Structure formats: C-alpha cells, structure tokens
Amino acid sequence: MNTAEIQALGKRLTDNLNQIIVGKESQIFLAVTTLFAGGHLLFEDIPGTGKTILARGIAKSVGGTFCRIQFTPDLLPADLTGINYFNVKKQEFEFLPGPVFANIVLADEINRATPKTQSGLLECMEERQVTVDGRTYPLAAPYMVIATQNPIDTQGVFPLPEAQLDRFLIRLSLGYPNFESAVSILSTHDSARVLETISPVVSIEEIIQAQERIQTIGVHEDLLRYIVRLTEATRSLNGVILGVSQRGSLALLRFCKAYAALNGRDYIIPDDVKACLIPVFSHRLILSSSERIHQNSAAQKLTELLKTQPVPTEYIV
C-alpha cells in the first residue's frame, strides 16, 4: 500500500465522519490520524459535544467492533478485562472476555473510576493484551481506546496519573460548534438516528495494512534531531514541573508519520512536526499549580517553544 492509497483511505473515513459531526473537520482529521498511527485518543471536553457519536462513528466506518464503558467509582479492573468462571456443564474454568475486547473502546468519563480501575487499561493500551490469572490474551487489531473526561468536574473524580496520560497518543477537544454549524445540527441532525446515515467505508484489513506501511515512512536525521531538541526544551520551560519523556518523542514521531501519510507523502516535513506538537505534547506537560489555572497554558507554552528552535532545512530522505 502506497501513501496515495493511505491518503484516499483517510479521506473516505474523514468524509464519512464529517456527515455526523458538523464543523469539526480538523479535529476529525486528527482523530483519524490517531487511528492510522495505532494510538489512543483522550478527549478532554465538556459534555454534549459529540464525543460518543464520533467514537461510534469511527467503529462503524471501519466495520469494527465497538464497546462503551461507563466509568464509575465502583467499577473494578475485572469489569474491564474479564473473568474466569466455572462452567458447570464442562466442569472447567472458562474465560469470559470483558468490554476491552473490541476494536474501538470508549472509556467514558475515565477519571470517575478509581486509580486501581484506571490502571486496568495500562496493559491493554501499551501491550495490546490482557493478563487474567496468569494467562495472557491478545486484543483485536486494530485497537484504539478513546477516553473522555470533563475538565470542569472536581467532585468525585480521580485525576489520571502521568503514566496513564502518557499512554494516550494525543489529547483533543471538540468544543462548542460555531453558530452556522449549530443551526445545521438543529435543522438536519437527530442524535438518535445520526449513525444510521453512515456505513463502513474502510475495512479492518485496510487499516492494518495502512498502519504497517506508515511505520516505514522516511524521516531525515535533521528532523529526528529537531524532535529531540523540542522534547528536551519542554523540560526547562517556566512553570513546567515535568517535561516530555522519551516516550513522548516516540509518540510525536509516530503521529507525524501518520500525519504525513494521510497528506500523501512518504516522508515527514517540519510543518508536520509543528502541526502535531501541541496535540501530542500538551497533556504530557506537568504544570505547576499556578499555571494550571490558566486555560490552554500548555498549548501556549508549546506555541512559544516552536519559535525558539531552529527549523531544519534538510528533510527529504
């Protein structure tokens, strides 16, 4: 599969999703890029912006399985991963898979579950497998966790630890629609039937092939150095307690490869890095308490950071 074919797949998928989420083309493109990069997506957004519909739409557009998990304080890790139960007829234990055994998993309001339950997703997200009672079960491919959390809530929530945040490839916010989009939603959209208007446009096999091809996208050494310089610079920003780790560098490179492929290129350019930096790095910056009160503080710091680093002039492999 070449990059032109990957670009065509991405366009079919984004066009399909644009039918159900109005006026959010750039966010949908980044969500699709996350899928092609083989990563996970964190939506930090207010309720009612279409996060669940988008997650269901992605699963339906690729013909994959979908499962929605409502996170609550009483949810247990076994409720996610599954259990071994004794089958009386067979007189033996059998494994009953949990809801994480789906192609697209929606972890709704993930920060309402306890840290113990949140940690139940770590192995799923990183190793693409589940271990129950000492036995390991592989997860389906492609595999994507889409988690949501409301940034306004402070009561009854458990903030995601840094290790959990680091597993998400990017963080996005859909936000409120603009005026014209809001009017269009009222006049043409019915939330109960909106998903009935779309059908699969990309197969699971095509997504897997695209993910494998994206791993081979070329990267010039100067761009690798550029990514490392940006990563190291986050660790000395004012108001930042903890900067981006090496996993963050790898995540940025991985996302840039998918971003380049969906734009029809088999190599990364500096503009790819600039476009991908904020979605990939913003949730990985641990800010001081005085900085957290400012909205979009992490994004602003990263925007200023881009201005301080020299941009490579050699980038074609």
Question: What's the angle, vertex CA 195, arms to CA 104 and CA 5, rounded to 5?
Answer: 60
Question: pLDDT tens digit string along 59-89?
Answer: 899 988 999 999 999 999 999 999 998 888 8
- The tens digit of pLDDT for each residue in 41-62 reads 999 887 777 888 888 899 899 9
Residues of the chain scoring pLDDT < 50: none
What is the rounded CA–CA span in Å between residue 114 and residue 310? 43
Model pTM?
A: 0.91
CATH of 1-214, one of 3.40.50.300, 3.50.50.60, 1.20.1050.10, 3.10.450.50: 3.40.50.300
User: What tokens does 169 get?
Assistant: 């490839």
For 194, phi then psi, to 5°, come to: -60, -35
- The residue extents of the domains of the chain are 1-214, 216-317
The CATH number of 216-317, from 1.10.8.80, 1.20.1740.10, 3.40.50.880, 1.20.950.20, is: 1.10.8.80
